[in-house]
Each structure stands twice: as structure tokens, then as C-alpha cells.
């Protein structure tokens, strides 16, 4: 499961939905793998502002990965040689190192196996072969 | 017989989920061509849109539009494993009534031929609530369900027929199929699996959407299915 997905996951239990501690889920005993994925600079530029940046930073820290920048990068920072930093001329400039690093971290770094833990109720969801299983045992429904 | 008490989660475990686990790759091989109406919905989304495919099956809609991000989920882990082959999106195993997503967040959701597998009216409304609650206030969901009104189809159901049906699926026995872990039916004989469906009448999906706290934006009938685009009800 690519790290980006963690931005969109919470505990599945209804009672946890209203608790801020239920997001983000915390990876535990995670085995990571890099899955090469074609870079889509337009997609990256659009999705960065939609992320809960602090939550994603805390996840990269928990996993012992290179930290995300302190703040969401501006569109201009995603392009090589963007002199005035406004993100224009997207057609001619290639992706910057920052963009490549973000792509590698968010889109290519995947949790192959491990657990995702709810910070509110402590329930652990298993990840196997890159797929997380959010089915709840009947007593927890 | 009190039909409603006999239906529900346990019924669906036997007559929907258990069956899909066994027929996963056969089912997947018969569902490969994306529908125009769904393709169009996905392709018209703005770049960077984020959404869900609830009940994604074999994942055939996950890579229709490369400029959006979809998290697919399915109740069947065998189907989710097949769906995962569609990079670059993500796939989970999850129950539609207990989705592991933050509320009021997503730009869109699709749920294609899924809600009709819930076996009581209350559970079907609950399913729609669950989907609508994931949407941001200006988000929208495309939902499709099998129609009762399909006289022209192979099965030929029509108004006046019972809406709760068991639909058979024949898996041809083969040595190759028997060797694969997830499929039953080794020894070369055909096996018939039946899945529960609730066939929707004209207007019924719209009614369920409204009961679930949604508004219907548009809808219609196509290829033996009712479809609607729904959004969360605007609170004035």
C-alpha cells in the first residue's frame, strides 16, 4: 500500500470516526518496499495541497524514512529551473529533485506487510502483500 | 417466513461474500470492459480529484483516469488481490458498511453493481449513507444497480417479478482451475454458484438515496441497470 493512501484512511469503527486520534493510522512492524511507478507531475502538484501534511510527516518519521519538508512545497518548487517560482511553464520544465523525492516517498514507498493501528481504540489492521484488511470482527461492529 | 429477519449480514456472508471469494477469477474474467457511462464520469473529473471505488471488484475502473487518485475497496480479498494489479491506485479489503475513510472528505465515489447485494431495505439505505458520508459537501457519487425492468436481457426479469433473486454463475470445471487455490470445482466438473441480488424498481434507487440523506442530481436506465449521480443533501 503506497504511503499516499494513509492520508485517506482512518479506523473503520464508527465510534472512532469522531476522534482525532483515529487519524492517521500508525504503521507498526512495517515491511516496506519500493515499487517503481511512472511519475505524473501534474497529479503530484494537484494532490500535495490536499494532504494532511503534518499527519504524513509523522508517518514518515514513525517509519524511519527521510522526513517530508516542514511545509507543503509550492507548485514552483516541483519544477526544475523555475526562476520565478510561480509554477508556470509546466510544459517545458522537468520535475525538480523535490518532486522526484516526493514521488519516491509518497507514490513508490509501499507497506508490503505489517499493521495499521488506531490511535483511539488500539485495534490493529493487518497488511499482507500490500493489501490492508479492514474487516472488523463481529463483536467490534 | 419472516423474510427480513432471515436476511442481513449472515445471509449475505453465505449468499454473496462466500460466493465471490470462490468465483473471483472467473468473475473477473467476465468483467473487463468498462461501461461508457462510468468511464465518462471518471474522465470528466478534474485533475487531482480524490475518491473511492466502493466494491471495486476486479478493479477495472481504477486506471481509467490517471490524473485522479482512487482508493478501491472490496469485501472479497480474492477480488482485491486481482484489483491490485491496476497500478497506480490502492486497494483495500473493507466492508461497505464500515469503511475505513475519514468522513466528508472525498470529491467522488463510484459504487458499481454493489448496493443490490444487500439483502434488506434498511441495509441498502445504510450502504448509501455510508457512501454519501465519505463525500465532501460538493462531492458526488455514481451508483449503479441491477434493474427489475430488463425484459430484453437474457434473464428477462420484468415488472411484477419477485425483486429478490438468486443469480446463478456457472464455473466450468477445468484442471487449471482446480490447481488454483481459491477456486473450488476441481475434478473437471462444472459448478453452479448463486448470488443474492435485489433487483431495483424504477424510482427505488432515488428513494433510497433520499432516505440516506442524499439528493439525486441525475439518473437513468442503461443496459439493464438503474444509475444515479447523488450528492449529500445541501443543508440550508
pLDDT digits (tens, 9 = 90+) for A81-131: 655 556 555 556 788 999 999 999 999 999 999 999 999 999 999 999 999
Instruction: Indicate the number of domains in chain B.
Output: 1
Q: What is the DSSP letter of B13?
A: I
Q: Does B136 touch chain A (CB under 8 A)?
A: no
Task: Tell me what pLDDT residue B12 has.
Answer: 93
Instruction: Indicate whether B184 belongs to any domain.
Output: no
In a domain, B187, yes or no: no
Compute the distance between CA of residue A126 and CA of residue B81 in angstroms, rounded to an integer: 15
* pLDDT > 50? residue B1: no
Q: What is the pLDDT of residues A22-78, one digit of tens each?
A: 999 999 999 999 999 889 888 899 999 999 999 999 999 999 999 899 999 998 888
Confidence of residue B182 (pLDDT cuts 50, 70, 90): very low
B48 with A38: Cβ contact below 8 A: no
Please report the pLDDT score of residue A125 as a whole number: 98
Average pLDDT, whole number, for chain B?
88
Tell me, yes or no, whether B42 lies in a domain. yes
Tell me the shortest Cα–Cα distance from A20 to chain B, in angstroms: 10
Q: How far apart are CA B136 and CA B174, in angstroms?
A: 47
Model pLDDT, residue A7? 96
Q: Which of B46, B47, B100, B103 to mutate to test the interface with A (most CBs of A within 10 A)?
A: B100
CB contact under 8 A, A130 and B101: no
- How far A31 CA lies from chain B's nearest CA (Å)? 17
Least confident of A65-79, B114-128, B193-207: A65-79
Are A47 and B48 in contact (CB < 8 Å)?
Answer: yes
State the residue range of the domain holding B118: 3-148+199-232
Pick from B20, B17, B225: nearest CA to B118: B17
Is residue B177 in a domain?
no
What mean pLDDT do residues B3-30 have? Answer: 82
Is there a domain that residue B176 lies in? no
> Over chain A, what HEC string results?
CEHHHHHHCCCCCHHHCCCHHHCCCEEEEEEEEECCCCCCHHHHHHHHHHCCHHHHHHHHHHCCCCCCCCCCCCHHHHECCCCCCCCCCCCCCCECHHHHHHHHHHHHEEEEEEEEECCCCCCEEEEECCEEECCCCHHHC
Q: Does B174 map to a domain? A: no
In this structure, is residue B215 part of a structural domain? yes
Query: What's the mean pLDDT in B159-168?
Result: 92
| pLDDT for the residue B88 | 57
Higher pLDDT, B190 or B165: B165
The residue whose grid cell reads 417466513 is B1
Q: What is the CATH number of the domain that holds B46?
A: 3.40.50.150
pLDDT at A138: 83
pLDDT band, very low/low/confident/very high, at B188 (cuts 50, 70, 90): low
Residue A133 has its nearest CB partner, among B88, B90, B93, at B93
| B4 has pLDDT over 60 | no
Complex-level ipTM:
0.91
Q: Quick one: pLDDT at residue B185?
A: 45
C-alpha to C-alpha distance for A2 and A34, rounded to whole angstroms: 9
Angle at A141 between CA B12 and CA B18, to 5 degrees: 25
Top mean pLDDT of A81-95, B18-32, B59-73, B183-197 is at: B59-73
Contacts of B44 by beta carbon, 8 Å cutoff, 6+ apart = none
Interface membership of A8 toward B (CB under 8 Å) = yes
Asked whether residue B204 is assigned to any structural domain, the reply reads yes
Amino acid at each position: 500500500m503506497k504511503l499516499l493512501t494513509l492520508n485517506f484512511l482512518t479506523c473503520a469503527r464508527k465510534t472512532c470516526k469522531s476522534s482525532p486520534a483515529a487519524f492517521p493510522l500508525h504503521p507498526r512492524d512495517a515491511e516496506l518496499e519500493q515499487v517503481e511507478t511512472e511519475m505524473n507531475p501534474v497529479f503530484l502538484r494537484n494532490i500535495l495541497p490536499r494532504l494532511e501534511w503534518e499527519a504524513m510527516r509523522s508517518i514518515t518519521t514513525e517509519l524511519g524514512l527521510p522526513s517530508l519538508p516542514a511545509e507543503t512545497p509550492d507548485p514552483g518548487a516541483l519544477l526544475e529551473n523555475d526562476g520565478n517560482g510561480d509554477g508556470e511553464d509546466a510544459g517545458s520544465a522537468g520535475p525538480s529533485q523535490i518532486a522526484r523525492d516526493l514521488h519516491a516517498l509518497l507514490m513508490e514507498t509501499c507497506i508490503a506487510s505489517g499493521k495499521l493501528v488506531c490511535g483511539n481504540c488500539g485495534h490493529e489492521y493487518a497488511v499482507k502483500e500490500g493489501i490492508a484488511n479492514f474487516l472488523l470482527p463481529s463483536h467490534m461492529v | 417466513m419472516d423474510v427480513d429477519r432471515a436476511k442481513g449480514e449472515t445471509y449475505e456472508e453465505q449468499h454473496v461474500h462466500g460466493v465471490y471469494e470462490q468465483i473471483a477469477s472467473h468473475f473477473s474474467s467476465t468483467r473487463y470492459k468498462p461501461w461508457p457511462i462510468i468511464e465518462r464520469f471518471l474522465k470528466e473529473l478534474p485533475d487531482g480529484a480524490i475518491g473511492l471505488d466502493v466494491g471495486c471488484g476486479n478493479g477495472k475502473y481504477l486506471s481509467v483516469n490517471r490524473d485522479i487518485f482512487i482508493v478501491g475497496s472490496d469485501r472479497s480479498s480474492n477480488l482485491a488481490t486481482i484489483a491490485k494489479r491496476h497500478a497506480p491506485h490502492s486497494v483495500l479489503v473493507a466492508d461497505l458498511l464500515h469503511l475505513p475513510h475519514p468522513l466528508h472528505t472525498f470529491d467522488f465515489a463510484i459504487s458499481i453493481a454493489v448496493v443490490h447485494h444487500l439483502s434488506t431495505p434498511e441495509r441498502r439505505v445504510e450502504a448509501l449513507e455510508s457512501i454519501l458520508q465519505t463525500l465532501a459537501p460538493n462531492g458526488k457519487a455514481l451508483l449503479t444497480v441491477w434493474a427489475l425492468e430488463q425484459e430484453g436481457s437474457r434473464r428477462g426479469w420484468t415488472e411484477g417479478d419477485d425483486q429478490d433473486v438468486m443469480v446463478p454463475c456457472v464455473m466450468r470445471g477445468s484442471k487449471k482451475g482446480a490447481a488454483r487455490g481459491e477456486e473450488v470445482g476441481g475434478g473437471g466438473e462444472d459448478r453452479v454458484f448463486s448470488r443474492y441480488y435485489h433487483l431495483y424498481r424504477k424510482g427505488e434507487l432515488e428513494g433510497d438515496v433520499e432516505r440516506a440523506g442524499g439528493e439525486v442530481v441525475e439518473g437513468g436506465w442503461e443496459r439493464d441497470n438503474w444509475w444515479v449521480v447523488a450528492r449529500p443533501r445541501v443543508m440550508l
